[in-house]
Amino acid sequence: MSTPTTEHLAAGRTADVAVAGLTKAYGDVVAMADVDLTIASGEFVAVVGASGCGKSTLLRILAGFERATAGTVEVGGTAVTGPGPDRGVVFQDYGLFPWLSVRENVAYGPARKKLPKAQVAELADRFIAAVGLTRFADTYPAQLSGGMQQRVAIARVLANDPSLLLMDEPFGALDALTRADLQTELKRIHTETRTTVVFVTHSIEEAVYLADRVVVMTGGASHGVPGHVQAVVPVDLPDRDVTSPAFNEVKRTISDLVHTVAAPA
Ligand SMILES: Nc1ncnc2c1ncn2[C@@H]1O[C@H](COP(=O)(O)OP(=O)(O)OP(=O)(O)O)[C@@H](O)[C@H]1O
């Protein structure tokens, strides 16, 4: 695979996020209650927590796929009332169009915006290069490995120039080496674009490696207490050496918080 291009990845749009008093109930079950969270423009925030604590629910509400039962969500100062092109979403399953080539998948969003053809082609090529897939631009998703398909999914979302990138376990289905590669690339892309990122993961190590701050959620229906934010941990490390004592100290702090059992309401 070719080395990803670090040039020409111009800073994209970026937005702050304000979540206040967010509550989501499914019938009688309150999945998540009273979540407050502010994210600065350009920040990378990871969300961790045990299964069922409401991580994906929070992300889906930010994406506008679901409406909150109570509370408010603003992205870039505008209330979220549904999905919008200002927010790009990457899931664990790549969600590519199998009948389109890599280039056509990445060009899809810009083409729908009716940008001039040359600009669409330039955008597609730039983001395909950014994820290291230039040599594969004319191949189809079925011909690519899972890691390569997820690179295409990331390029496709970035080509739409979102101001907020929402990622739900995007590397969860990948083997450890591919996952590490994509983490490094995402970190580099974030450094270059400064797009605000909210990244849901089960891996505390991945969260500490990638994020400026880690939101720890606890609770959930099976705990008898709604999912909520237990703590927000800043990752104040000069580098992200996963073997360093400082890195492991932050991991331990977060792990202890994840396993905090909230008192039933
Ligand atoms: N469409 C739905 N209908 C009913 N309950 C739901 C629905 N979606 C989510 N829930 C419930 O809301 C709670 C939070 O779910 P959510 O998927 O957000 O948790 P999560 O932290 O992302 O879990 P996981 O780590 O397993 O993906 C769970 O108890 C879940 O059963």
Residue 40, domain member (yes or no)? yes
Task: Quote the pLDDT of residue 262.
Answer: 56
pTM, 2 dp: 0.92
Contact 31 CB / ligand 1 (< 6 Å): yes
Contact 93, 173 (CB under 8 A): yes
For residue 220, the CA-to-ligand 1 centroid distance in Å is: 8
Residue 92, domain member (yes or no)? yes
Residue of 22, 26, 60 to mutate, ligand 1, most atoms within 8 A of C-beta: 26
Which pLDDT band, with edges at 50, 70 and 90, does 223 fall under? Answer: confident
Closest atom, ligand 1, to C-alpha of 222: 29
For residue 235, the CA-to-ligand 1 centroid distance in Å is: 27
Closest C-alpha residue for ligand 1 atom 8: 57
Only one residue has tokens 């720890």, namely 216
The DSSP 8-state label assigned to residue 233 in this structure reads: E
How many domains is the chain built from? 1
Residue 73, domain member (yes or no)? yes
Contact 56 CB / ligand 1 (< 6 Å): yes
Angstrom distance (rounded) from CA 183 to CA 20: 30
Residue of 32, 47, 53, 200 to mutate, ligand 1, most atoms within 8 A of C-beta: 53
State how far the alpha carbon of 173 is from the alpha carbons of 3, 99, 147, 246, 258, in Å: 23, 22, 9, 28, 22
Contact 57 CB / ligand 1 (< 6 Å): yes
Contact 102, 138 (CB under 8 A): yes
State how far the alpha carbon of 122 is from the alpha carbons of 110, 163, 186, 218, in Å: 10, 20, 21, 44
For residue 130, the Cα-to-chain-centroid distance in whole angstroms is 17
Residue pLDDT, tens place only, 178-216: 999 999 999 999 999 899 999 999 999 999 999 999 999
Which pLDDT band, with edges at 50, 70 and 90, does 46 fall under? Answer: very high
Residue pLDDT, tens place only, 105-123: 999 999 998 889 999 999 9
Range of the domain at 23: 17-96+146-258
Residue pLDDT, tens place only, 165-179: 999 999 998 899 999
Residue 206, domain member (yes or no)? yes
Residue 263, domain member (yes or no)? no
Residue 6, domain member (yes or no)? no
Residue 254, domain member (yes or no)? yes
Contact 26 CB / ligand 1 (< 6 Å): yes
Can you give the CATH number for the domain in which 168 is found?
3.40.50.300
Instruction: Write the DSSP string, 78-116.
Output: EE--S--TTEEEE-SS----TTS-HHHHHHHHHHHTT--
State how far the alpha carbon of 218 is from the alpha carbons of 47, 53, 114, 187, in Å: 11, 5, 44, 26
What strands lie across the sheet with 70-75, from one edge to the other?
A: 78-79, 70-75, 17-26, 29-39, 225-234, 213-220, 44-49, 196-200, 164-168, 87-90
For residue 25, the CA-to-ligand 1 centroid distance in Å is: 10
Contact 49 CB / ligand 1 (< 6 Å): yes
Complex-level ipTM beyond the 0.90 threshold: yes
Q: What are phi and psi of 207, to 5 degrees?
A: -65, -45
